[in-house]
Amino acid sequence: MKKIELLAPAGDLERLKIAFTYGADAVYIGGEIFGMRSAAKNFTIEEMKEGVEFAHNLGKQVFVTINIIPRNEELEQLPPYLLQLQEIGVDAVIVSDAGVFSIVKKTIPNMEVHISTQASTSNSLAAKFWYEQGAQRVVTARELSFDEIRAIRDNVPEDMDIEAFVHGAMCMSYSGKCVISNYTTGRDANRGACAQPCRWKYDLVKENENGEYEEVINGIDSSFFFNSKDLCMIEYIPQLIECGITSFKIEGRMKTAYYVATTVRAYRMAIDAYYEDPENWKFNPMWLEELKKGSHRDYSTGFYFDRPSDKAHNYESASYIRNYDFVGIVRDYDAENDLYIVEQRNKMNVLDKVEVIGPYKETMFATIEEMYNEDGEPIESAPHARQIVKLKLDIKVDKNYMLRKPIVSINTI
């Protein structure tokens, strides 16, 4: 049985390496031009080269986004950029625009091409069209159900890949085709600069026959009525596989390394459990709890079970939920003194009880028994951003393991 690809976002080189370390089969990244996440740090050509080499040494893949809707003058930059990507050894490019597609096929004809979700592929004829033009993969529109994806799978060639989002932010517009951001802030959502005005609070009113304004939506205190919940499909791994999806895509190139690690790790465990025993796969609530230990918003199943109800929106708030602090990442081990060299990400203290996560491992629990600064001097806390400290823990950990601790509410103290 060909195993499902787990495809992770990577906003920079650190997140690329974390994604692969924690179980991703491939990552998608953006360069400094032509990507849909202009606010992400993104990759220089040299960073791309290092990332591709890292991936290929692990037998994994890197895809590069070229999925903005470009203007004429921007297209002049594209051929030399494509030749750089080919020289680096990028495994595929992700495009949405027909003009960009034609330049890719002319400039680097042997490059694998994936059709972005921005192209809104919603039926088998559209998917087949792209296949006949030379695309290897189509990323389906996010507005499709299991049955609609199955219908595409049944009516396209077997060797065409179908990729679909299974986790992350949902756009309130159709596959990202929104102009609200451009209208309200001048930041173009279709060119990688969305300000996410759908998460703002609004009042929706209408004018009645007396020329007075009255609310259209009643009975809710806050009017976040554009605010879609995030997508989370970890409870439905068998259904995702059985409907014909070949690549599970996680959204979030602007998210943190901790988000990438926790999300990839949870889906990796769920997918691997399926392949160990497909007939008896059972959802483990721990996987969902792990996802909730990262910064997140309320979850829904999007369009997979047909058109979503009003429960797919959060009308009360657009805020993120954060119950845990990511406090550090293990960078190395000082064997002579039996201390772990840790890069701090949030404040931690001696005697803190922490949770430790690592790739392909169950969550572990530890106590910070001792702490030292870089000069070897004992300290009681690490309050400075990204400071390097040495920790004595009461368990064994490894490089790239992450430490976190619950956020204690003032009301519970």
199-225 pLDDT, tens digit each? 677 777 778 888 888 777 665 555 776
Residue range 46-83, pLDDT digits in tens: 999 999 999 999 999 999 999 888 888 888 889 999 99
Answer whether residue 254 shows pLDDT above 90: no
pLDDT score of 411: 46
Q: In terms of Cα–Cα distance, which of 164, 167, 128, 116 is closest to 5? A: 164
Q: What is the pLDDT of residue 412?
A: 45
pLDDT for the residue numbered 410: 46
Q: What is the pLDDT at residue 271?
A: 98
Please check whether the domain covering 324-406 is classified as CATH 3.90.226.10: no
On the question of pLDDT at 32 being above 80, the answer is: yes
Tell me what the mean pLDDT of segment 71-96 comes to.
94
Q: What is the mean pLDDT of residues 19-30?
A: 97
CA distance linking residue 231 with residue 250, whole number of Å: 9
Determine the pLDDT at residue 202.
Answer: 73
- pLDDT surpassing 70 at residue 41: no
Beta carbons of 130 and 121 less than 8 angstroms apart: yes
pLDDT of 413 above 60: no
Q: Quote the CA–CA distance of 252 and 24 in Å, as a whole number.
A: 14
Q: Tell me what pLDDT residue 197 has.
A: 73
User: Where exactly are the structural domains of the chain?
Assistant: 5-174+229-312, 324-406
Mean pLDDT taken over the chain = 89
Q: For residue 295, what pLDDT is reported?
A: 85
| pLDDT single digits (tens) 328-366 | 999 999 999 999 999 999 999 999 999 999 999 999 999
The arithmetic mean of pLDDT across residues 273-279, rounded, is 96
Percent of the chain with pLDDT over 70: 88
In this prediction, what percent of the chain has a pLDDT beyond 90?
A: 70
Class at the top of the CATH hierarchy for domain 5-174+229-312: alpha beta
Residue of 410 and 335 predicted with greater confidence: 335
Give the pLDDT of residue 267: 98
Distance from C-alpha of 372 to C-alpha of 165, rounded to nearest angstrom: 43
* Least confidently predicted of 174-188, 237-251, 289-303: 174-188
